[in-house]
Structures are given as structure tokens and as C-alpha cells.
Structure 1
Amino acid sequence: MPRTLAAITLATSGLLAAACAPAVAGSSTEPPPVAGGKIGTLAIGKYACELPGDAGGKIGEPVPEYDFSIVNASSYKAQGIRGSYLYTGNTVTMTGGKFKGLRFERVSAGFLRELGEQRPEGPMRCIMVARRY
């Protein structure tokens, strides 16, 4: 009986190792893809927001009530209230805090353009004005 038990144990452990091998061999440091694209974070710093101007007038109309700072990997602070954001693909969505539900397109490093809001002046833009290293 002990020989049979040893043979079953050996066979079972071999099957387990064989079953796990593809998972271990195929693993990588990249997380699986998520809806919306790859997850990222914004650079830590202060963003100043403005509405676009026109060719015959102002360059832009500041809207300081929308200014915010990225304070760590996925948190921002606006008017003293801390919130969270999700950055996937090229879309930044404020998921908590003062600006919950506000969405931006990341045009380039330090340049965000509001999505969804239909304003006569055009979409609000937020530009990084101070970066913390």
C-alpha cells in the first residue's frame, strides 16, 4: 500500500507541475489589458485650466476654480479637497473628489483637454504649470 500511495503522490505532483508550467512560463511583468487601454499616471505637479481665446482677443480665459494638482500616483487635490483619477489609454477620468466625473483627453505630457462638455468657447484645457520632481 505505501508504494501505491507514493506512486499516486508522485504522479499527481508531476501533473500539477506540468499544469502550472505554462502559466509560469507565460507570465510577464505586464498586467493584463483593461478596457480603455493601458493604465498610467500623470506627472506630479500643478495644472492650470483655461477656456480657449480667439484670434482677435485673449489667448485664453483662466478658470481657476478648475485648477488642480496631481499629488501622487493616482490622486489629485482641488480647492483643498483630495480626489482620485484613472488614466487609461489617453483618457483621464476624475473618479472621486471635487471633480468626480470630469473627463479629459491627454493630448501630450502636461496638456489635458476636457471631454464631453459642450461650451460655446470650446473645450477647457488644463496645462501643467509647475512640476514637482
Structure 2
Amino acid sequence: MIDLKKLTLLAALAGLASPPAMAQGRLSLLAQGEYVCALPGDATGAAWIVQEGREFAVTGGSSYRTAQGSGTYLMEGKLVTFTRGPMRGAKFMLLGSGLLQQVGRDGKLGRMRCHRAGPVED
């Protein structure tokens, strides 16, 4: 016959061994530089349509700046969340080195992409 205390202990230990469902991943940093954001175009015109006023620069550490001011971001795994400053609340998914795609409020990938266009300009 199975001992109920042992079974309860095993169940509790199994719960501790599994990672939390909401864990995003390790903290890291974006590549420093100037980022340009654009929406996809169409077959009759430009492939990408640059979104004026949406550009930003990653300046070091977890800091960024825009024409409207500076702020901070948090990168957990591939999810980038702007936590302070003019882009506060904006979320992006890192697709590759220097390439981000907007994440909507519903958690789905949006249409806008931002790519690292070069080093930080002073």
C-alpha cells in the first residue's frame, strides 16, 4: 500500500522542480546604436515605410533616448519592455541581432519592426 505522506511529499517536490510558467528568460541588453522603425509597404511602392518620430537610440546599460527624452527598458529573454520615459509601456520581441518587432497589447506580434541602423550618434 502507498504511504499517503510519501505521495504528498513527492507531489510537492515535483512542483518545486518545474520552472514557473511565466518565466521569460535571462536578463540581457540590446545592442547599442540608433534604431529606425518602419511598417511594411506594398508591391506598388516602397518595401518599408519609415515611421518618423518612432526612432530611438540604445545608449548603454538598459537606457535609451528619443527626441522626446530618455528612459529605460528591461529585456527578459527575447521580450523587451520599455519601463520609463517616452516609450514607457511599448513592447518588442527580439527577432535577431538588432531586429525588433512590436508586440501589441494582446500579446501578438504587430506590423512595425525596428532595426539597428548604426552606432549611437552624439
Superposition TM-score tier, normalisation by shorter sequence = 0.7 to 0.9
The aligned counterpart of 2:72 is 84
State the alpha-carbon separation in 2 of the partners of residues 73 and 64 from structure 1: 25
State the alpha-carbon separation in 2 of the partners of residues 64 and 117 from structure 1: 22
Counterpart check, 1:55 vs 2:43: yes
1:78 deviates by 0.8
1:55 deviates by 2.9
Q: Scaled by the length of structure 1, what TM-score is found?
A: 0.67
**Bigger proportion of residues as strand:** 2
Counterpart check, 1:74 vs 2:62: yes
Structure 2: state its 5+ residue gaps: 1-21
How many equivalent residue pairs? 96
**Bigger proportion of residues as helix:** 1
Q: Scaled by the length of structure 2, what TM-score is found?
A: 0.72
State the alpha-carbon separation in 2 of the partners of residues 54 and 92 from structure 1: 28
Tell me how large the CA RMSD over aligned residues is.
1.8
Distance 1:112 1:62, change over 3 A: same
2:102 maps to which of 108, 114, 118: 114
1:93 maps to which of 81, 84, 96: 81
1:111 deviates by 0.3
State the alpha-carbon separation in 2 of the partners of residues 117 and 58 from structure 1: 28
1:117 deviates by 5.9
Which of these two proteins has the greater Rg computed from alpha carbons? 1
The alignment-based identity, stated in percent, is 35
Instruction: Please state whether the residue corresponding to 2:31 is helix, strand or coil.
Output: coil
Structure 1: state its 5+ residue gaps: 1-33
Instruction: Please state whether the residue corresponding to 2:53 is helix, strand or coil.
Output: helix
The aligned counterpart of 1:30 is none
Deviates more, 1:34-43 or 1:60-69: 34-43
* Conservation of the 8 A alpha-carbon contact between 1:113 and 1:125: yes
